[in-house]
Structure formats: C-alpha cells, structure tokens
Amino acid sequence: MSIGKRTAPLFVRHSNILYHHSRFECKVCNKRIRCDHMGKREVIKHTETQSHKDLAKTFQFQARLQFSTPSLNETQQRLRAELKMAVLTANNNIPLAFHDKLSPTIRSVFPDSKVASNYHSASTKAMCLLNLAVAPLLIEKLVESMRTQPFSLSTDGSNDSGLQKMNPATVRMYDLQNDCISARFLNMCVTSSSTAESIYSSLNSKLEELLQCSSPWDLCSAVGVDNTSVNIGVRDSIKTRVLQQNSAIFFNGCPCHIIHNAARKSSDEFCRSCTFDVEELCIDIFYWFDKSTKRKKSSIILYFL
C-alpha cells in the first residue's frame, strides 16, 4: 500500500509480522499507526494532527549528526567474513565439517578477491569463533534480560551412556527487541550422576554464577521438565528443591509423554478386554507394506481417495 511521496519519508512499515498489514510506524512521533480500517487515509489523517506538525517542524531545525564508518584493513575484513560464515552455518544447523571444504571453494571461486584469497577457516577455527566470540556475547545479552524480566527454564537429561550426564538448560522469555517469545540456550549443566540433588545443584550454581545473585529463582515463572520422579516427584526431586526457593514457580511436565502413557494404558486395557492387540496389528501392517513396492503404491492411491 502506497502512502504518497509527501508522507512516505516519515513512515515505515512495521517489522512485526502480526501487524505487518495493519499498522505503520511514524518516525517523527515514534508511534504505531493503525491503518487496517481506512488505509492510506489513516496515515494522512495522522500527518494533519497538530502534534505531528509540531514535532516535524522541530526535527527540521535540529542539527544532524554525521557518523563515519571506520574502514577495515584486509585482516579485519577476512576475520569478519570468516565469522559471518561460521554464524551462517550455525544458524542453519550445518555441520562444522562443511568449513573444511568451504575455504578452498571460496578461494577458487573468487580468485580476484584479496579477502577470499586469504580466507582460511576450517572446522576447528569456525568452532573457536562460535564458542569464544559469538557464544559469550549471546550469553551476556541473555543474562542481562534475565536479570530484569521474568523467564521460564527448561531442561532434559541425556542418556546415562557416558561418564558425565548433560542437562542442557534453555530459557524462554519475551524478546522486547523482536516483539515475540523466544527460546535461548543457557548452559549445558554437566553432572556426574542422575540424582535430583546433583541436577539441581548444577542448575542452581550456573544460575547463581551467570546472574551473580544468591536468589536466581526469584524471576523464574515456570520450569519445564520430563515426567520422571527425579524431576517432579513429591518427595525428593528438582521440583521440591526449586519450590523451596520460590513457591510460585509452575512446573510443567512433558505432555507428549502423558499422551503416550495414556495411549499405551488404553491399548493394554483394550487388548485385555477383547483379546485384540492394537500394537501387533500396527507391526503387521508396517511389515506388510515395508517389503513390497506394489503395496506401497496401492496405499498411496487409497490416501488420495
């Protein structure tokens, strides 16, 4: 939707997807203007208000600051390119081993570029850039937000197959900058055992270390864990220990496990009452189609019907 050349410099389309087609943002008044009812007329109507005219007149006589972007030398340009490629692969869940083939490819594709000819970033260097440069900055910004606004915490343990057990902790909170709910990784919280005391001590110590306070659970509103006794048991669990610090925290178990347990119990009771096993039927159906291309094709025809 066009709002005309006269008023266009004053307005930008709002970046939030929820309001992308119904609001505009006035740069002068720093307000979000609704335009879902009358469209262009709503924007023009705002520009005719006295408050907008006064602010626009004030902006005309204000001196503008001139900022100069510092120039980067070839080494800094190369490091910036390597860092951007590392972040790009991490954001798209591409294995870091991809960088072992990426560096020679960039040098061969862009032979006339000085930055590309000096590009050397294999998987080891990309991992160091992410762990030592990007991760600390992201964690620092996350911790700053956790100190000033409520957040929820989620964790789940790895299998007991190694010497140490990993309990990755993720934080879910309202992102003021992007105007949405976002989830961020906080820490791996490694423990040597699977007891409630060990897991809680690891979570609590990491929160105290990062938030730099003795009561890190005050701003925590909810905790998401699995439905095991170690997590939500009524006697000695992570839930009982956390509620001792803040009784207002809501503990939410895994709904997928609840649905699975309900379906399994229902199937067992159904089999016991009518001697018909649903699970065995599903297995037979799977292997009936698994070994025959013709049967798979016939099932696709039935699907489209």
- The arithmetic mean of pLDDT across residues 24-35, rounded, is 79
Confidence class for position 17, pLDDT limits 50, 70, 90: very low
The answer to which of 16-30, 82-96, 239-253 has the lowest mean pLDDT is: 16-30
The residue extents of the domains of the chain are 8-60, 74-139, 153-253, 268-304
- The arithmetic mean of pLDDT across residues 209-235, rounded, is 90
**Is 208 within 8 Å of 143 (Cβ atoms)?**
no
Residue 301: predicted pLDDT = 76
Residue 241 has pLDDT above 70, yes or no: yes
**Is 14 within 8 Å of 24 (Cβ atoms)?**
yes
Q: How many CB atoms lie within 10 A of CB 119?
A: 20
- The arithmetic mean of pLDDT across residues 60-86, rounded, is 83
Residue 274: predicted pLDDT = 85
Residue 299: predicted pLDDT = 80
The predicted model scores a pTM of: 0.63
The answer to which of 13-17, 110-114, 151-155, 296-300 has the lowest mean pLDDT is: 13-17
Tell me, rounded to whole angstroms, the distance of Cα 269 from its chain centroid: 40
Confidence class for position 224, pLDDT limits 50, 70, 90: very high
Residue 46: predicted pLDDT = 83
The answer to which of 28-42, 264-278, 286-300 has the lowest mean pLDDT is: 28-42
- 215-231 b/e (C-beta count within 10 Å ≥ 16 → b): ebbebbbebbbbebebb
Instruction: Round the average pLDDT of the chain to a whole number and report it.
Output: 84
Percent of the chain topping pLDDT 70? 90
The answer to which of 27-41, 90-104, 249-263, 287-301 has the lowest mean pLDDT is: 27-41
Residue 233 has pLDDT above 80, yes or no: yes
Cα–Cα distances in angstroms (integers) from residue 155 to residues 151, 214, 235, 289, 301, in the given order: 14, 21, 20, 38, 43
Residue 18 has pLDDT above 80, yes or no: no
Pairing of strands 220-224, 151-155: parallel
Residue 125 has pLDDT above 50, yes or no: yes
Confidence class for position 13, pLDDT limits 50, 70, 90: low
Residue 10: predicted pLDDT = 57
Percent of the chain topping pLDDT 90? 38
In this predicted model, which residue has the larger pLDDT, 192 or 38?
192
Residue 19 has pLDDT above 50, yes or no: no
Residue 63 has pLDDT above 80, yes or no: no
Pairing of strands 190-191, 165-166: antiparallel
**Gap between the Cα atoms of 99 and 102, Å rounded:** 5
Per the structure block, which two tokens stand in for 124?
């080891």
Per the structure block, which two tokens stand in for 130?
């992410």
Residue 89 has pLDDT above 80, yes or no: yes
